[in-house]
Structure 1
């Protein structure tokens, strides 16, 4: 895999009004198997109410995989902080688990 570079906007960005905060991809055009992630700020926030609670999103987070294409998430700063914390916790728990449990598969993916 090539070393990722930083580009202004993904080649398949679904929202041209989004201001890119950070785009992490390998090249300007994907090669087979490449994925990327991009974070940006919306031109106009989106608000919705669920069960009487208002939620305002002003950020975009897009994931691209060859299998699913672009998945666009509408989020806010609190969501990003939460996800960062949740990934850190999950990673700690995974490392602790792997230190004590034999994985159900071999390193190459074989069972």
Structure 2
């Protein structure tokens, strides 16, 4: 069995206790306009209760853009699975919409 891949911490990581699981950034140091996305595991889970329902987060997901800075999401595995499904569904709908718009603009298509 091979060793798990290790990812470096983003240059402006807001949580030094987080262990990166996957980090997508262009380089070690930013250049103008660079963004990154990093996913990591928390050192200690965070639990909260809302309307009597407990929710436990043990993962971090950080997005960085030059315009917004770092946005840190505290999540769990179910959140990641759900987001994966939501993005896939939205992408299918976008492709279907674009195919419809393209076919309407083609010669002989309805205006």
TM-score by length of 1: 0.84
What CA RMSD, in Å, does the superposition of the two structures yield over aligned residues?
1.2
Give the total of aligned pairs: 97
- Please name the residue that 2:105 is paired with: none
Query: Larger radius of gyration, structure 1 or 2?
Result: 2
Q: Superposition pairs for residues 42-57 of structure 1, below 5 Å?
A: 42-57=42-57
| Contact map agreement 2:7 2:20 (CA 8 A) in 1 | no
Structure with the largest fraction of helix: 2
Query: Cα distance, 1:101 vs. partner?
Result: 2.1
Q: Superposition pairs for residues 15-94 of structure 1, below 5 Å?
A: 15-94=15-94
Stretches of 4+ moved more than 6 A in 1?
none
TM-score by length of 2: 0.84
| Contact map agreement 1:62 1:73 (CA 8 A) in 2 | yes
Q: Secondary structure at the match of 1:49?
A: strand
Unaligned runs of 5+ in 2: 1-5, 103-111
| Contact map agreement 2:40 2:61 (CA 8 A) in 1 | yes
- Deviation by residue 1:11-48 (Cα, 9 ceiling, x = unmatched): 00000000110111000111111111000000000000
| Contact map agreement 1:35 1:64 (CA 8 A) in 2 | yes
